[in-house]
Each structure stands twice: as C-alpha cells, then as structure tokens.
Amino acid sequence: MGYSVGAREGFHGMSEPAGRKVLLQARGIAKRYKRRRVLTGVDLVVHAGEIAAIVGGNGAGKSTLLKICAGLISPDKGRVTVSGSLGYCPQNAGVMGFLTPGEHFTLFGAGRGLSRKESDHRGRKLAGELDWSPARGVLAKDLSGGTRQKLNVVLSALGAPDLLLLDEPYQGFDHGSYVDFWRSVRAWREAGRAVVVVTHMLNQLDQVDQVLDLTPGKDRGIR
Ligand SMILES: Nc1ncnc2c1ncn2[C@@H]1O[C@H](COP(=O)(O)OP(=O)(O)OP(=O)(O)O)[C@@H](O)[C@H]1O
C-alpha cells in the first residue's frame, strides 16, 4: 500500500544510541473493540536497518497493532509516526483472483509510480528471491495458497519501501521458501530498511533485532 508520511513535530527522525534514522515510532498505543481491551500503552520504535518481531498468542493484538502502524485503523490513545515510505502485507492475501501476478505487478507498481516494465522486473526479481517464477497467463485465483501468499509479500515490497510491515507473511510457504523469506528479510535489513514481522515462529527470533511480546502480563520488550 502507498501510505507514506514524513517526520512530524516532536520527531526528528534520528535517535540515540544507534544514530540511525527512526522509521517507525509508536508510543502509548491503546485500542479497544467495544468492551474488549486489546492494546494498552504499547510502544514500538524501529530504526533503519532493524528487524522487529511482534509475538503473542492468538488474539493478543498483533494484527491490530500492525494495522495501526500502517495507518489502516486509528488507536484510541497514542501516536504513530512513520518516516519514509511504507509497505504493508496483510495477514489475508489481498490479491485479486481474476488478475495474473504480472497484472498485479503493473497495478501495484503504478501506485508506486513505476513503469509497467520496471514493475514487472521488480516483481519477478522479488518472486525469484522467494523461489517462485510466476507463469504468464495464470490467474491469482488458480495459484496455490502458499504462492498466492508469495504474491502478497512481493506486492508489499514492490516499491522498495523504507519500512515493511508483514503480518504472518509466510503462511503456506514450503520449508525452502520459508528459508528464502528470512534471507530476503535479512537482505532488506542490510540495505538499511526496517522490517516488522508478526510471527508465531519463535524459533526465528534469533534472526531479529528486537521482539515485542503482546502476551498479557508479559514484559513487552524481550530484547
Ligand atoms: N474489527 C474488529 N472488531 C472487533 N473485534 C476485533 C476486531 N479486530 C480484532 N478484534 C479482536 O481483537 C482481538 C485481537 O485481534 P488481532 O487480530 O489483533 O489478534 P492477533 O494477535 O493478530 O491474533 P492471531 O494470532 O490469531 O492472528 C481479538 O480478540 C479479535 O477478535
């Protein structure tokens, strides 16, 4: 998606001690759905060149926090500041069944100001990094679930956003694709981007720079 805002008042885009630019700053986030309190006073600060994981059991509020960070829903309290461009990969693939992957690349690339050729080039390159070579003429509705999810990930990364928010992005990936996915995430970090991943795969947490645990009663930042 093409949500992009610059630094705002009270936020200067640099922070100690790393000296790297803060790309996402969420402070004091609270959210309730009717009488159900989902998030209370959650903080998350992510710098350029960092991977952050959001963990917690089912219903802990991970997707809610990510949607708030993406600007899709508003918090009841707190403030989110994003510096630079943002890509968001929703938990349920937001792809259109009657378009081919190539048509998705064109459509989403246009939203990023890319030409058809450049969109196709970038889409196929990102797909290749996830061990997927999109066949021409196949509709998204006829892709396997895991491949449709790869398309979802590729679309969120198509515009090379500074900050990438991924909500359980590897659902249905086979093992090799899952390994490829984490390799891509590390490459994005090396390129100075920031990545926030909602995950249940706690065995991957040694790959990330910080972990936000939304489990009620848990200490929030566990690294
Ligand atoms: N639009 C909504 N209206 C009402 N309740 C909602 C809404 N969206 C989420 N909830 C509730 O808020 C709680 C947190 O949901 P959320 O999807 O953020 O959790 P999650 O940690 O991502 O869960 P999961 O691991 O199952 O994906 C859940 O109890 C959910 O039912």
For residues 150-167, give the mean pLDDT. Answer: 95
User: Are 195 and 51 spatial neighbours (Cβ–Cβ below 8 Å)?
Assistant: yes
Residue nearest to atom 8 of ligand 1 (CA): 64
Question: What percentage of the chain has pLDDT greater than the value 90?
Answer: 76
For residue 8, pLDDT beyond 70 = no
Helix axes 116-129, 101-111, angle to 10 degrees: 120
E-state strands within the chain: 4-5, 22-33, 36-47, 51-55, 77-82, 84-89, 163-167, 194-198, 210-213
- For the whole model, what pTM was predicted? 0.88
Min mean pLDDT across 7-11, 101-105, 110-114, 152-156 is at 7-11
For residue 7, pLDDT beyond 70 = no
How far apart are the CA of 19 and the centre of ligand 1, in A? 35
Residue 37 CB: number of other CB atoms within 10 A? 13
Q: Which two tokens stand for residue 218?
A: 């848990």
Residues with CB under 6 A from ligand 1: 33, 36, 38, 56, 58-64
Min mean pLDDT across 1-15, 82-96, 204-218 is at 1-15
Atom of ligand 1 nearest to the CA of 73: 1
More confident residue, 218 or 92: 92
Q: How far apart are CA 145 and CA 160, in angstroms?
A: 24
How is domain 4-213 classified at the architecture level of CATH?
3-Layer(aba) Sandwich (3.40)
pLDDT of residue 220: 62
How far apart are the CA of 38 and the centre of ligand 1, in A? 8
pLDDT of residue 102: 97
ipTM over 0.95: yes
For the chain, give every domain's residue range: 4-213
pLDDT single digits (tens) 184-223: 999 999 999 999 999 987 777 788 999 999 988 775 655 5
pLDDT single digits (tens) 172-194: 899 999 999 999 999 999 999 99
* Residue of 35, 54, 64, 166 to mutate, ligand 1, most atoms within 8 A of C-beta: 64
How far apart are the CA of 41 and the centre of ligand 1, in A? 17
Q: How far apart are CA 155 and CA 53, in angstroms?
A: 20
Residue nearest to atom 18 of ligand 1 (CA): 61
How far apart are the CA of 32 and the centre of ligand 1, in A? 10
